Structure 1
Amino acid sequence: MRKLRRISAALLLTAVAAAAVGTPAAAAPPGADRGALLARHPIATYDSRAEVDSLLTAAGFHPTTSRYGVSLHQLVYRTVDGHGRPTTASGLLALPRDGGRHLRTVSFGHGTSVYRGDAPSVAPDDTFLTGPAITFASAGFAAVAPDYLGLGAGTGPHPWMDVPTETSASLDLLRAARTFVAERGRALDREVYAAGFSQGASAALGLSRALRDGADPWFRPAAVAPISGAYAMRRVEIPAAFTPEVTPRLGAAYMAYLLTAYDRSHDIYRDPSDVFAPGYTGMGELFDASHPGPEVLAALPDSIDGLLTARGRKLLLHPNARFAAALREADSVCEWTPAVPVRLYFSPGDEQAVNANTTACRSSFAARGVRVPAVDVGVDRSYSGLVHEGSELLAVPRIAAWFSQLAGSR
């Protein structure tokens, strides 16, 4: 649930990457060649640790684990959509410039984006998006950051807060990265350390659960470190959007995104006019991944009260059967039994993904006999004065240190 951000025209997709999207995949049978690498494009190189430290410090990440320079690459690869049909997606791969031939891997899921140009592999100048992968790569890991479906070099609208496709896009990027790294005479070890911020917190948990369940014959989970996630959308996050606990305009944005994305995937309402107030029935077109964040925010009311009809409010607070089933799937990310270390990171007073989400996730794991620490990273308001975004800046260096410690002990 990252703040809706401005992306410049200079960050448009390369012609080659755009051409790769949606071409050979359509002819393949469902699920065939998942993770096949279709295209690879160099993005940037930071030759030294000093360059990396300067970049991260300027963005507010306060690097403490840097050891190497880093190279960044965009990978375009085969994956599947929410119906299991072939499609393509893109993601960022960050590699240490030096270090060993065998690399353990970190998968980092980014926060909410409404615009396809606001994704790690197509926004190299946005260190809020690329900084986590750079941090982990400079610490000696291979780091992947999926753009998710419909973002980056993807096509169509993005299925927001859809754990199955977040999981499949993340897993298939790992497979593509393994191919890319092998082409360069290096290898990815089996261990995958998963982390993510906001929406990406759910993606990290979903990926780790899938790896635990044997979704890939090579990769296996090593540790999980989600940051400021909306783990209890129905019980916690939706009700909070109707209170001052969530910044009013952002609450309206998130609920509009939720309704439009879930209606595309699950057909939860008959007509937009049933749920959106007059003047706001075009939310589906607004949240189609082609509108930059500032444009989306400018088209929204000051709060959720002006956005919805009485039916729309009722649908959110008392979901119908299809909506409830979809929300149960989203809220299941903490309803499993991990056999690897898990830590939940948060900042107190989060004005977007409220802290009760972390409490609910921790309690859900505890009910399954798993003790999961909730790590208070403090508050950093340097990013537009927002606690939520600051939690990523504060947590990522701590997670890099924890993952490095775990990797060193194996």
Structure 2
Amino acid sequence: MPLSKILLCFLAAAAIALTGCGAVRPPDVRQADGLARAHARGELIQLEALGPLERARLQQIASEFPGKIAVAGGASLYRVVYWTPYRGRLVAASGLYAVPTGAAAAKGTVVYLHGTQITRAASPSQPQRVDGNEETAVFAGNGYEVVLPDYIGLGVSTEPQAYLIAAAQVDATLDLLRAVRSASIGLGRDAAPSLYLMGFSQGGQSAAAVHRALEREPLAGYRLRGSIGIAGPYDLRALVVNKLTPAHAAAPNNAGYFAFIANAYSGHYGHALDETLTAEYAAAVPALFDGSKTPEQLAPVLPEDARRLFRPEFLHALQADQDNWLTRALDENRTDHWAPVAPFRIYYGDDDSDVLPQSAKTFYAYAKAHGGNVSLDALGAVDHWNSAALTYAPALAWFDALSAVK
């Protein structure tokens, strides 16, 4: 059912003002003296109450996952709007914030980084969200604060979606955590400094990138305890090359993934789309990823075989793993060549045709060889989507075990 939307305006104790209810504040806000005030990354723009989810409803949601997950309480949901940098300027971004009801102090904060989503209306912070209720049920229903970034290009963001752009997802996630800290003060909640990351598919790549960034430069007010990546495309360049082989090129969803990557990377790195795609698809693809289309609307437009998307000479270069602007960009966004210090659990399904299992194995092999605190967990003969469902129960048990260690 749609959740009623009530605007909640407040003055945070940290002297962060929310100026009025309704529209997101524009970048150039004039103060009483007529001078423009500079904004800061992670600054809270707006907090919007999306309503409660009672324990019975959360238990119903959690019961859909394997593992007999019990839910202890209800939760209240909010949309957080905040500032974050993107391509040299601050932009408004948004995310979902769920807090457990009945207790001022939470066990910690769980950040869930969602998988590929092309439809703006299905962003986690939207009332009719696709992602968010499940994580609220499993984690907020058991005493954790839960945070889901919409990502740049989804939610309130008007930018093109920064699909598989690691730095943009890191910035959006860390700045959402900064904004959530301000929001929690305004709500009168105690801090929840223990931080846990969990990401699926695209979100697996993002979870690895955020974990890596936090170990290079910790975020004030938070302590990273552990992370989970599920079916993540960590070795992007190798994954792209492998998925363009005859054995994988016609797999379901492949053409959609490649079209999305080409569209996002062309815009982000400043290359015309027709350098990569044929003239036919270069003309058709941008409209497919403007945030208004559903995945079902892609199939009639895109080819069954992903190789047909590309200009012949560019396809040959990709298949031969030759150096070009796209392969260099994919390397820039890889998240498999580093060694975690805080524990990182890597999950994958053996029958995953969307993100090939080799991606998880490559990440694990490199991290382990370099002293990384990693584990590799095969989920058996399951596909991409079922790999996520199988991970909620063990994730909750692991986060609870970590939270019990002070």
Q: Please provide the CA RMSD for this pair.
A: 2.7
Identify the match of residue 99 of structure 1 among 103, 112, 130. 103
- Per the alignment, residue 400 of structure 1 pairs with 396
- The code of the aligned residue for 2:151 comes to Y
Identify the match of residue 52 of structure 1 among 51, 55, 58. 58
SS of 2:377's partner is: strand
- The code of the aligned residue for 2:49 comes to P
Identify the match of residue 295 of structure 2 among 293, 296, 299. 293
SS of 1:34's partner is: coil
Aligned-pair distance for 1:281?
2.0
- Per the alignment, residue 77 of structure 2 pairs with 72
Corresponding position: 1:87 with 2:91: yes
Aligned-pair distance for 1:111?
0.3
Corresponding position: 1:209 with 2:216: no
- The code of the aligned residue for 1:67 comes to A
Mind listing any 5+ residue stretches in structure 2 that lack a counterpart? 8-19, 31-35
Aligned-pair distance for 1:152?
1.2
Mind listing any 5+ residue stretches in structure 1 that lack a counterpart? 1-7, 381-386
Identify the match of residue 171 of structure 2 among 168, 175, 178. 168
- Per the alignment, residue 273 of structure 2 pairs with 272
Does the aligned pair in 2 maintain the 1:139–1:404 contact within 8 Å?
no
SS of 2:318's partner is: helix
Does the aligned pair in 1 maintain the 2:121–2:128 contact within 8 Å?
no
CA distance in 2, matches of 1:130, 1:162: 25
Give TM-score, length-normalised by structure 1: 0.86
CA distance in 2, matches of 1:25, 1:104: 34
CA distance in 1, matches of 2:237, 2:70: 37
CA distance in 2, matches of 1:302, 1:349: 20
Does the aligned pair in 2 maintain the 1:245–1:354 contact within 8 Å?
no
Aligned-pair distance for 1:316?
3.2
Does the aligned pair in 2 maintain the 1:35–1:174 contact within 8 Å?
yes
Q: For each residue in 1:201-255, what CA deviation from the matched residue of structure 2 results, as whole angstroms up to 9, or x when unmatched?
A: 1111111122212252222311011111001111134322434446634111111
Corresponding position: 1:118 with 2:125: no
Does the aligned pair in 2 maintain the 1:230–1:237 contact within 8 Å?
no
Q: 1:62 to 1:379 in 2, by over 3 A?
A: farther
The structure, 1 or 2, with the larger RCO (C-alpha pairs under 8 Å, 6+ apart) is 1
Give TM-score, length-normalised by structure 2: 0.87
Aligned-pair distance for 1:74?
0.9
Q: 1:192 to 1:375 in 2, by over 3 A?
A: same
- Per the alignment, residue 239 of structure 1 pairs with 242
Q: Which structure is higher in helix share?
A: 1
Does the aligned pair in 2 maintain the 1:379–1:390 contact within 8 Å?
no
CA distance in 2, matches of 1:148, 1:219: 21
CA distance in 2, matches of 1:170, 1:114: 18
- Per the alignment, residue 250 of structure 1 pairs with 253
Taking only the aligned residue pairs, the percentage that are identical comes to 26
Does the aligned pair in 1 maintain the 2:226–2:344 contact within 8 Å?
yes
CA distance in 2, matches of 1:28, 1:303: 52
Identify the match of residue 140 of structure 1 among 129, 133, 143. 143
CA distance in 2, matches of 1:397, 1:228: 16
Aligned-pair distance for 1:79?
0.7
Does the aligned pair in 2 maintain the 1:178–1:187 contact within 8 Å?
no
Aligned-pair distance for 1:405?
1.1
- The residue correspondences of 1:190-205 to structure 2 (distance < 5 A) are 190-205=193-208
Does the aligned pair in 2 maintain the 1:209–1:336 contact within 8 Å?
yes
SS of 2:325's partner is: helix
SS of 2:206's partner is: helix
Does the aligned pair in 1 maintain the 2:105–2:192 contact within 8 Å?
no
SS of 1:334's partner is: coil
Does the aligned pair in 2 maintain the 1:241–1:252 contact within 8 Å?
no
- The code of the aligned residue for 2:377 comes to V
Q: 1:137 to 1:241 in 2, by over 3 A?
A: farther
- The code of the aligned residue for 1:221 comes to L
Corresponding position: 1:152 with 2:158: no
Q: Is 302-311 or 160-169 further displaced after alignment?
A: 302-311
Aligned-pair distance for 1:379?
4.8
Does the aligned pair in 1 maintain the 2:42–2:178 contact within 8 Å?
yes
Q: 1:221 to 1:115 in 2, by over 3 A?
A: same
- Per the alignment, residue 342 of structure 2 pairs with 340
CA distance in 2, matches of 1:132, 1:123: 15
Does the aligned pair in 2 maintain the 1:77–1:89 contact within 8 Å?
yes
Does the aligned pair in 2 maintain the 1:249–1:297 contact within 8 Å?
no
SS of 2:111's partner is: strand
Does the aligned pair in 1 maintain the 2:123–2:129 contact within 8 Å?
no
